[in-house]
Copies of this chain bind each other. A is one copy, B any other.
Amino acid sequence: MTAVGTGRFGAVLNRIEKETAELRERGCPADYIPGLAGADIRRFGMAVAEPDGTVYGVGDWRTPFSTQSITKVFALALALSLEGEQIWRNLGREPSGNPFNSLVQLEYENGVPRNPFINAGALVVTDRLQSLTGDAAGQVRDLLRAESGNPAIDFVPEIAASEAAHGDRNAALAHFMASYGTIANPVPGLLAAYFRQCSIEASCADLALGASFLARRGVREDGSALLTPSQAKQVNAVMLTCGTYDAAGEFAYRVGLPGKSGVGGGIIAVVPGVCTLCVWSPGLDRRGNSVAGVSALDRFTTLTGLSVF
């Protein structure tokens, strides 16, 4: 059951909205696909979901945006819940130190991606989920719908098509891994599933609620367990060390929370046991993370004293 209200951190959110105002003129929207390039960098929303299902926010917190790489967290959680440690057969969990779509490291490491949050690793996760369920993207969407209580969450075919049309680098990654036997599904179908997964639109409210199981030691909105407590901690650990591309160290240093960003400008973050956060603002820094979003989370941990460290 989802409740909307103004909870424990309402005042903090209002303050953050004001303090990040001038940052919302910095950065650029993702330009590699037309569907994202037109985003207005002055948009800003931030939501907090508490473990009891209360959710509240400021600004555009109920406006759907393109979730992109944030979906990688949900795909990983589903794959972990379905096959446990087996998911790590062809997948590392070390920070990459390279941009999210680099092929260099993949070659030096014989086709095994460094972690599940760089594109190559996310393709491995989607490949497994596709093999296990037959519909990886649908599973991710359905998990988000169930946890947020919002049945309107869905794919955006135009975005998926736009990603496919500009998806040569992901195609290169997928074919490269296929040459090593790292992925099992035929490349075209896998890419289609991956681009559909990335095209999901959801709001800050949806995503904060959607990720609540990570603040609740793996427990879903309905009280069932998606992950064991140990697995929930592990997903948080991977988010902290690998969740923000090659800026993960910086994000841990400044924000100090497990987080995962997407090139649509969204970032989710987890305060284990306390709450989940989602912030959105489309202006990205050169590493692909939302300028105002990182700053808002930085302010949140500074003002509340909450961080994992």
Q: Enumerate A237-296 residues with CB–CB distance to B below 8 Å.
A: 237-238, 240-242, 246-250, 252-253, 256, 258, 272
Q: How far is it, in angstroms, between the C-alpha of A102 and the C-alpha of B168 when the chains are bound?
A: 17
Q: Cβ of B104 and Cβ of A108 under 8 Å apart? A: yes
Q: Cβ of B107 and Cβ of A272 under 8 Å apart? A: no
Chain B nearest CB from A4 CB (Å) reads 28
Report if A143 contacts B (CB, 8 A): no
Q: Cβ of A233 and Cβ of B97 under 8 Å apart? A: no
- Between A93, A168, A178, A272, the greatest number of chain B beta carbons within 10 A of the residue's beta carbon is seen for A168
Cβ of A308: which chain B residues have Cβ within 8 Å of it?
Answer: 272, 308-309
Chain B nearest CB from A202 CB (Å) reads 24
Q: Enumerate A70-126 residues with CB–CB distance to B below 8 Å.
A: 92-98, 102-108, 114-115
Which residue on B lies nearest to A94, using beta carbons?
A: B249
- Give the B-binding residues of A (Cβ under 8 A): 92-98, 102-108, 114-115, 168-169, 171-176, 178-179, 187, 230, 232-234, 236-238, 240-242, 246-250, 252-253, 256, 258, 272, 302, 307-309
24 A-B pairs (CB sep. < 8 Å): A94-B248, A94-B249, A95-B248, A95-B249, A97-B97, A97-B98, A102-B107, A104-B108, A168-B175, A168-B178, A169-B175, A169-B176, A171-B171, A171-B187, A232-B309, A237-B249, A238-B249, A238-B252, A238-B253, A240-B240, A240-B252, A240-B309, A241-B241, A242-B249
Given the interface pairs A230-B302, A253-B234, the reply to whether A94 lies near B95 with Cβ below 8 Å is yes
Q: How far is it, in angstroms, between the C-alpha of A132 and the C-alpha of B291 when the chains are bound?
A: 34
The complex is assembled from copies of this chain, and their number is 4
Q: Cβ of B92 and Cβ of A249 under 8 Å apart? A: yes
Chain B nearest CB from A275 CB (Å) reads 14
Q: Cβ of A94 and Cβ of B250 under 8 Å apart? A: yes
Q: How far is it, in angstroms, between the C-alpha of A307 and the C-alpha of B256 when the chains are bound?
A: 14
Chain B nearest CB from A286 CB (Å) reads 14
Q: How far is it, in angstroms, between the C-alpha of A230 and the C-alpha of B304 when the chains are bound?
A: 12
| In the A-B complex, the 6 residue pairs with the closest CB atoms | A95-B95, A97-B97, A168-B179, A94-B249, A172-B176, A236-B309
Q: Cβ of B169 and Cβ of A309 under 8 Å apart? A: no
Q: A94: which of B104, B240, B246 is its contact (CB, 8 Å)?
A: B246
Q: Give me 13 other A-B pairs in contact (C-beta within 8 A), A103-B103, A103-B176 excluded.
A: A93-B253, A94-B95, A94-B246, A95-B248, A96-B97, A102-B107, A171-B172, A171-B175, A172-B179, A233-B256, A237-B252, A240-B240, A240-B241
Which residue on B lies nearest to A166, using beta carbons?
A: B179
Q: Cβ of B309 and Cβ of A258 under 8 Å apart? A: yes
Cβ of A173: which chain B residues have Cβ within 8 Å of it?
Answer: 172
Cβ of A175: which chain B residues have Cβ within 8 Å of it?
Answer: 168-169, 171-172, 175
Cβ of A232: which chain B residues have Cβ within 8 Å of it?
Answer: 309
Given the interface pairs A94-B249, A97-B98, A103-B104, the reply to whether A237 lies near B176 with Cβ below 8 Å is no
Q: A104: which of B104, B234, B240, B252 is its contact (CB, 8 Å)?
A: B104
